[in-house]
Chain A
Amino acid sequence: MNEAEDHVAAIICAAGGRLVSRIRMQKIAYLLDQLGTESGFDYQYHHYGPYSRDLDNAILDATAFGLVEEKHEHRQSDGARYSVFVCKDMGKKSGFGRLGEEKASELVRLFSETNVTVLELAATAHWLAAVEKVPDWQQEIVRRKGPKTENGRLAKAEVLLGRLQLAPANT
């Protein structure tokens, strides 16, 4: 079995060797796990939706063992910082569990080009419907995420879940 840090490196490799934002990394790992990558990470609900401390530790290991470099850049408008992960060994494979290398790579590329708030909403909608089993997940996500659900972003998240055939889109 691969180590957790190999999974992190493989996700970044699959994204083309560069992946922007820790929040995006968390949501990609979560959605991939729902589709069968079997990382073994445990997730809890945090401010940006499902979050895994195990994944955070795996990122730490990936940087400590030299598989990945984490750089920081700042949003032009307000200086807010975000992470940029760069894979230092492009040959890194995870196996990606029963999802398989090819399908996982295709999805990682898709997620890496998806707006980070849409990813946050997609992961949160899945969490509410499948994990917390909230009966009216739409009301709940609007209650928790407020303005983030506006301007068609929640609809885009639903389309994404539909394409992935994940709850709540598949129920």
Chain B
Amino acid sequence: MSKRLRDPVHGLIVFSDSDPIDMLAWQLIDAPEFQRLRRIRQLGVSEFTFPGAVHTRFAHSIGVYHNARRLVEVVDREMLRNKTRGSPERAEVAKVAALLHDLGHGPFSHTFESVQVSRGVKRRHEKWTADIIRNPDGTIRPLLNDYRAGFCDEVAGLLESDDPTDIYHSVVSSSFDADRLDYLQRDRMMAGTGAGAIDLDWLIDNIRVAEIDIGAPDEGEDPVKKIATFCLAKKALPAAEQFLLARYTLHQQVYFHRATRCVEHMIGKLLRAVATHAATGEMAAELTGLVADHALLRFFAPDGETVANYLALDDALVFGSLDLLVRAQDPEISDMAKRLGCRQLYKTLDLADFGEDLGTQRRSLRRISGMFEAELADGVATVMLDDKASISIYSEIGGDEDRMHKKLHVLDAGRPVEISKVSPLIRALEDKKQFTRFYFEQAADRERAKL
């Protein structure tokens, strides 16, 4: 029998009993690894700032699957237009990869990754995703390989690759991938912001398939390889501009909101302190307030970074442990747990408050860092520096340049060109804008820093 879900963004999502990949998707949704995504919020702690933003990676992932099915139909449509043949097997890989793409997120997603980075761990959530899919002790792998021999590796492999190999990769990673088409709508709706509407149906109707060079742009022409990806017909240029502006606005107003970033840093400080005690081992339970076999202590213990221990972590576990963490002998942990429980935030100073001049901002950064050198030190952190958020029309959280296949291309006289070539509006937003903030435990310190 067909299965149905209702979704605030996409309406009725039907899993047809006549479509084997839909039935596999339904089984995958029931897997414990996927059900865990119910306990990881899509926007982490944004609900401290936008109370409605409590939607989960579970709902998002189902929305991404729904979009992936629509995009595969676009691929079929464009194959027909271009008189080329598609690959039903690759289409299945893309749909399932879209559904499972977020399995590897840890609690509070990017915040947890930054905790791991500060501990010297060089492992991305994409790697966790692939490991969870391939886990021989898990439930995902047998479901995939029972569907088709080798299917598990095909799905994990698509998610691990940085660069595209064919048009089906575009369903999962491109300027119009299924992920982006879901989160831009869902995050906007759930955050309650009116900024940045997206004309989705018009955009999808105007998607075309064309080949672009995936090599990083450089002086001279030395193409790496041309790969088919999603581009837009020129008549959709205004809608494409709005689409990119929506993404820009969400970063500016929601993802990089100063209060949200402050809470992320506070949780990071809390988790780092827990991790330090867990790694040492001695008195970890007493110092953290957690029970001795708590999932956080298991994961952060030496050799504790296993898939099983990782899957035991989620947002709900951390927030549900605040009452234990309040009892920690380590006053840092205890204080932070109390603060998070009642939203008593550190005090934020944004360098933009000193004016838009970049030189003034960077000199202020240097002056304040010097003033509070001891307070900023690892293990103290009564003052925290946030200098890792920047946006441009393309750069991602973390700041690296975006890849060519993630940049939006428009067909100009039938030839794909990067949108900024034909849109002065987008060209104006190409430069990176940096958000640099300090978070102070003591309000008096913030006042001193302002002087």
Contacts and interface: CB of A to CB of B under 8 A. Distances in A.
Q: Is B one of A's binding partners?
A: yes
Contacts of B415: 78
B217 A82 contact: yes
Nearest first, the 8 closest Cβ-Cβ pairs linking A and B are A79-B421, A80-B217, A46-B400, A147-B225, A82-B217, A64-B362, A64-B358, A75-B217
Contacts of B387: 53, 57
Interface in A27-80: 44-48, 51, 53, 56-57, 60-61, 63-66, 72-80
Nearest to A120: B216
Contacts of B418: 74, 78-81
A81 B430 contact: yes
Which of B215, B221, B416, B434 gathers the greatest number of chain A CB atoms within 10 Å?
Answer: B215
B165 A147 contact: yes
B399 to A, nearest CB: 5
A146 B227 CA distance: 11
B383 interface: no
A109 interface: no
A122 interface: no
Interface stretch (B144-152, B154-162, B187-195, B277-285): B154-162
B217 A81 contact: yes
A159 B262 CA distance: 46
B51 interface: no
Interface in B349-380: 358-359, 361-362
A90 to B, nearest CB: 20
A66 B430 CA distance: 21
24 contacts: A20-B218, A44-B117, A44-B122, A47-B401, A51-B399, A57-B387, A60-B358, A61-B362, A75-B217, A78-B417, A78-B418, A79-B422, A80-B217, A80-B418, A84-B219, A116-B215, A143-B160, A144-B163, A145-B162, A146-B161, A147-B165, A147-B225, A147-B227, A148-B214
B52 interface: no
A62 B21 CA distance: 53
Which of B361, B400, B404 gathers the greatest number of chain A CB atoms within 10 Å?
Answer: B400
Contacts of A77: 213, 221, 223
Contacts of B409: 78
Interface of A: 20-24, 44-48, 51, 53, 56-57, 60-61, 63-66, 72-82, 84, 115-117, 120, 131-132, 143-148, 150-151, 153
A147 B420 contact: no
**Chain B facing A: main interface SS:** loop
Nearest to A43: B122
A56 B163 contact: no
Nearest to A57: B387
B235 interface: no
Contact of A148 (B225, B359, B388): B225
B359 A65 contact: yes
Contact of A63 (B165, B217, B358, B403): B358
Nearest to B434: A60
B407 interface: yes
Interface string B120-131: 001010000000
Nearest to A56: B399
Nearest to B214: A147
Contacts of B399: 51, 53, 56
B164 interface: yes
Contacts of A51: 398-400
Contact of B430 (A48, A56, A72, A153): A72
Contacts of A147: 163, 165, 214, 224-225, 227
B222 interface: yes
A115 B162 contact: no
A162 to B, nearest CB: 22
Contact of A79 (B358, B401, B417): B417
A163 to B, nearest CB: 21
Given A131-B122, A132-B122, A146 B163 contact: yes
Contact of A117 (B160, B164, B215, B361): B215
Contacts of B359: 64-66
Nearest to B430: A81
A78 B221 CA distance: 10
Given A48-B216, A48-B401, A53-B398, A144 B407 contact: no
A2 B420 CA distance: 37
B212 interface: yes
Contacts of B400: 46-48, 51
A148 B224 contact: yes
A148 B225 CA distance: 7
B184 to A, nearest CB: 20
A23 B401 contact: yes
A29 B214 CA distance: 23
Interface in B51-88: none
B276 to A, nearest CB: 19
